[in-house]
Each structure stands twice: as C-alpha cells, then as structure tokens.
Amino acid sequence: MNKLISLIQKTEFNHSLTKSEIIELFKNNECNGDLFKAADRVRKKYVGDEVHLRGLIEFSNICKRNCMYCGLRRDNKNIKRYRILPNEIIKLAQKAVGYGYKTIVMQSGEDDYYTVDKLKYIISNIKKMDVAVTLSIGEKTFEEYKAFKEVGADRYLIRIETTDPALYAKMDPGMSYENRKRCLRDLKVLGYEVGTGCLIGLPDQSFESLANDILFFKDIDADMIGVGPFIPNEDTPLKNERGGDFLTSLKVMAITRLLMPNINIPATTAMETLNPRGRTIALESGANVVMPNVTEGVYRKLYALYPGKICTGDTPAHCKNCITGKIITIGRVISASKGFRVKA
C-alpha cells in the first residue's frame, strides 16, 4: 500500500506512469481515495475551479455503422429514427446561447443526409453566435474535416473506444482501427482541439488494454478525454454482457488527469447513469467539463445509446439549473470562457 501511495504522489508531480504501474493501480483498490484526491489536486492546479458547460445537440440518431455496443447501430429495428433539420439545429443552438453556453457540441450517428454543404451551413451560422463549435459526427475524410474547420469548427470528438486492435475488430464490425487513428491524426494536422476516449467494461477488455488506452491518449496529446462505462443495451448483440463499473471508469479518468494535467475531461452522463452522484464525484476526481443536453422534446429520449440515460425527460433549462446547482454546491464555479485547453 505504501508503495502505491508513493507512486500516486510521484505521478502527481511528474505526470508519468508505465503500463505496469497503471495496471497495478487498477488491480488495487486500497488507495483509491488517494488516487482521486491527487487527480483533483492536479485538476485544481492546472485547470482551476472553473467548470465548462457545453451544450449538447443530438441532431440525428440515424447511423450507417453497426457497432456491437451502441443502441444507434444500423441493425437496431426497435428504435424510432429522427433527424433535426439544419435550421432547427441552428435554433436549438440560439436557445443554448441564451442559456449561457459558450460551446455548442453537435453530435449524431454517422448519417450521410448531412452533406458537407449542409454541415458548413449549420457550423457557419452557429459560429456567428460567438461560441466554440465542437463536432462529434464520426469518421470523415481529410477534405471534409478541412471544410468544417474552414467555416469555424473548433473541436472534434471521436472516441477510439479501444486501442486493442482485436477487440476493436470485434466491437466495430466493418470498420478499420487504422482509419480511426488516421482521423485523429488528420484532425491534429488541421488544428482542431481533438477529443477522444474509451469505453470501459467491454467484453474481453483487460486492465492491460485500458492501460494502453490511457497511454495512447498521452501519446497523441489529445486535448479532451471522455471516458465512461459500457452499459449494455437490450437492442444490441451485447445485451447480456455484464458491462462496465463506475469505480473502474472513475479510475481511468483520474489516472488520465494525473498523466495529462492540463486537458479537459468531462464528467459523463453514463457515469451518473450508474451512480446517482456520478458527475459530482467525477468533478471531485479530476473532471472539469459537463455537457448538458440542450436538445428538446421527444428527441432527447430517442438518442438511445444505452438504457437508463439520465435527464431524458427534463427541459434544457432544467438541466442547466440542475447541474449549475451541483457545481456550486461542491465549491466550483461556472466558467464564462469558451474553455479551450491552455498548454503550459
């Protein structure tokens, strides 16, 4: 135990761990409190007490991919599909700006209805509102990413999900692990702030695999890391799997903060699906971002990545007030900035 505490103390200052050291932290739960407190201190030192709220618009649940874990997968016939039209997306963004959001996150399945021209129209109109624009719309070509950047897209989220090539092949049939990495490289070259992350608790995933994921995040110098538990969806082939657990997800997040002190880390909704205080605990263990849903009406329930998703019955205004209250209660403040990563 003393050895692990020494390891955590050392990492708090040198931000470096070997794969075997990360695995050791995963295997042992006696020093979890020390790990989470160290991650929180690093968060405070490097990114401060501000929490960045980013308004999330889930504008289409149509997806051409068939990922084994995802409720939006192409072969799921039990989900009612929807698309929000470009002008309606822009109106949702306007409302979100009215609530005080400084970043708009546009997320969807991989839906080819939204052509480059449609997306450029949406992005350019949202940029007129003086906000940062984050896209989370999957694998595109270099030219497509470039076109979005030229009209004002600032950030792009594309989770690697797992860096284990064999597991990736099983979980994401018909997709290429190498192409996923190519997307991340292209986004870096084009000057995006790049977000990635992994799912925790996939079938056959090991601690070694999760350690590799964390070291991959550091290796590519990602700007934002979103991690969360795999929650089995009854409308997918993995419906009977055990799924991920809250504690391991929290440890992945905390270790990532220790190794990458100045990045942005969201407290994810999936965390709160497993634990009623999930996002608050995450904010006290290294996280500094929350992405409340600003999509309205029936669409909130239909973006069904996994079961039990929180806040699907709430209004965007209620979500904003609720998370603001939680943030203030733990002594943190809502940021008034757009929340770009500040490198030392």
pLDDT in tens, 253-263: 999 999 999 99
C-alpha distances (whole Å) from 198 to each of 249, 271, 278 are: 10, 13, 17
Average pLDDT of the segment spanning 214-218 = 98
C-alpha distances (whole Å) from 127 to each of 58, 70, 279 are: 18, 30, 29
Average pLDDT of the segment spanning 121-144 = 98
At 283, list the tokens: 């904010």
pLDDT at 2: 87
pLDDT at 1: 66
Ordered structural domains, the chain, with CATH: 2-334 (3.20.20.70)
pLDDT at 295: 96
Average pLDDT of the segment spanning 289-307 = 93
- Tens-digit pLDDT profile for residues 269-297: 999 999 999 999 999 999 999 999 999 98
Residue 142's nearest CA partner among 177, 186, 179 is 186
- Tens-digit pLDDT profile for residues 159-212: 999 999 999 999 999 999 999 999 999 999 999 999 999 999 999 999 999 999
pLDDT at 297: 87
State how far the Cα of 89 lies from the Cα of 235, in Å rounded to an integer.
27
- pLDDT band for position 344 (50/70/90)? confident
- Intra-chain end-to-end CA distance of the chain, in Å: 32
State how far the Cα of 227 lies from the Cα of 196, in Å rounded to an integer.
8
At 114, list the tokens: 């939204």
Average pLDDT of the segment spanning 263-270 = 97
| DSSP letter (8 states) at residue 241 | S
Average pLDDT of the segment spanning 45-71 = 98
How does the average pLDDT of the chain come out, rounded?
A: 97
Residues in the chain: 344
